[in-house]
Amino acid sequence: MKIPSDSDNTGSEPGRNSAGQTESDKTVQDAAAEQATDADTGGPEPEPEPDADGTDTGTGGAGTGPTHSARRLRIDADSPFAEAAQVFAASDQAQLSALDVSAELFFNETVENLRLYNPHPGQPYAHATIAETVRRYHRERRSSAAAKRKKRKSKLPPFPRFRLDQTFYGWVHELSQAEDIAEFTTVLGATTARAYVQITSAMTLVHGLPKFFARCIAGEFTIEHVHATAHACRDVKFENLPLIDEYLAQRRADITIETFRKSLGMKIAVLEPLEERVEEASKRRRVDITTTPDGTAYLTLAGPAPELQACYLRIAAFARAIRSGNIAAFNDQLEPGAAIDDDRGIDALMFDILTRTIPQLSIQVTSTDTTTGETSTRDIPLDVPAEQTMTPAAVVNAVQEGVNGARAGSNGSVGKLGSDTDEDTSGPEVVLTMPTHEQWLDSQAKMITTVPFLTLAGSAELPGTFSDGSPIPAETARRVAKHAKSWTRILTDPATGTPVDAKAATYQIPENVRQTLIAKWQACTIPGCTRRAETTEIDHVVPFDHEHPADGGLTRFGNLHPLCKMHHQAKTDRKYSVRMNRAGFVQYVFRHGLSTEVAAGDHPINAAHAKVFEELQRQAAPTSDPPKSTTRPAGERWHGDTQISEGCPGPAAADGQAGWVKNTPLLSGRSTVNENEWIWDSGGPPPF
């Protein structure tokens, strides 16, 4: 693989020796220990606490393999998971090596296909890193032409085919050759699409995110973190990759993949206009199906997140309504006296609603009067016999019959098709009608959206987030907030963006505390569970003392976290223990000698919001008072003038009126004040 030489080392990519081996390859354990940082404190990770039996062993067992202390994971030496962890770590290293080799092969083929000049034949093509190329671009844009030529002579060539707005997804697809991809698919034994994924991921990690890739080689992150990062960054512009690499180089190595994935998504949303990414997602919207040999299939909808979030919540609302027997919105579709007695689970109901619901269909005809410009609509019901199966052909035939019936309607009727009036009728649309009664739907579904205050006020364009951490464009967030029934203020840590304390003195969780917990944790806290926090139960780590609430188990952040019903019951049944030894961290201790600490994710959008807020405050801060003029009319008083007098030397100050007030340390800022000193108040508004 082509690696920059030492003379052009930017510090953005780990140095390699002649054999292509990185320094982190040689000292894996040292790198894991040295690079572990804590995003919350900015300092090194605390030393892991000893286990209950006094032992303290890493995942690698007796000093072999990469340690995982940075991942907040500890395994007893005699645990059955100790040996398995070594195998998993070795598997991760093998897959990382495969990515490294894939990047090397594809890059070398690209250099050869582009016929790039190599001043050192027989050696890898030397080039500047992505980070250095970005820095050069911004520097040279401000430099003179002569300075550019002088600098160019002593520098390595830029990253091949570099553009600030290029992405590795586009770079790979643009520069790949069909025969090269065929070779990859042959060796991998995969499809062409899978080969492109492998190559794009490899190039993104090795060349776009070298610091993060070094941490992965050092064993701080699992292969799941690697895949999640590669997927999230494949469409990130070259200009922003160094910034994301710096963020990942310092980020806490959480074991919880969902926390990591959501925080990274927020960071990308801060750096790149989310509107453009949503627009691109809308262009790529599609429905895919994958059938497996066991008879199951996977239906995948890909498109803009806001629409799919709303779709998911609507289907879940219908399922919960049926599950609880709340069928008021369906009364017009049921026989009198009918009742719903359904023992299916929510997930099964959602599947059946999506795949088996017989929709109510009608033809909606829109008519525009070319004289007045007025537009009107009317619905024509479809006449589909009850015994006829609702097939696509039946729907098409019913639509055609409805259109023909409209054309044969009475002359002059509003919305008539093909009449001799001045009406211009648009084409008919088939309309799907489902229960949308506002009050009924509100009682079944809730969409929680977090919006930065400055975005809400129109002073910033930072994205908002759904309750699961998915970012949404600023304009969409404002539109959602505009129609919200209630707002909850959430205070956040300016450094990490994580919501801070909220508390109550009762066992019941107040709405403001619940909403803050949802925003902080976003999901069930047990590792691996993706259940949304708003559909979970709130667990008191230390049980609430109902008889003496002040004695323990208080309803406050340091004692609360979300657990889904299943995992909450398992905790109640003592299948594992849960502790909260320090704020913001939940420790799980399992029965096979394995324990882990789960932290609430950082929130880059909120952290960026704090920086914008600080900058606006700095810009709005009043400048120092200008020096007073050396001349003023005789006898005129200025605000702040002082005078020594046993009594009030003149008119006393009143609300909004100038006058004398007795000076105090609070007014003067001095620790001691002459008891006979008076100060002139001009009567104007206070300077704050």
Q: What angle do CA 500, 616, 241 make, to 5 degrees?
A: 75
Q: What percent of the chain has pLDDT over 70?
A: 67
CA nearest to 308, candidates 161, 466, 503: 466
Model pTM above 0.85: no
**What's the residue count for the chain?**
688
pLDDT reported for residue 53: 37
Tokens 């908002």 — which residue? 464
Kind and range of the H or E run holding 89? helix 80-114
Which residues on adjacent β-strands are paired with residue 466? 449
pLDDT digits (tens, 9 = 90+) for 321-363: 777 666 555 555 545 554 555 556 778 878 877 776 555 556 6
pLDDT reported for residue 160: 94
pLDDT reported for residue 144: 60
pLDDT reported for residue 466: 80
In the chain, which stretches have pLDDT less than 50? 1-69, 334, 338, 410-422, 435-436, 438-441, 687-688
pLDDT reported for residue 623: 57
- CA 302 to the chain's CA centroid: 17
pLDDT digits (tens, 9 = 90+) for 495-532: 788 887 666 666 677 787 888 888 888 889 888 888 88
pLDDT reported for residue 26: 34
Q: Are 159 and 129 in contact (CB under 8 A)?
A: yes
pLDDT reported for residue 508: 76
pLDDT reported for residue 147: 58
Return the axis-axis angle of helices 192-203 and 80-114, rounded to nearest 10°: 90
**Phi–psi pair at 610, nearest 5 degrees:** -65, -40
**Phi–psi pair at 366, nearest 5 degrees:** -105, 130
- C-alpha dihedral sign at 96, 97, 99, 100: positive
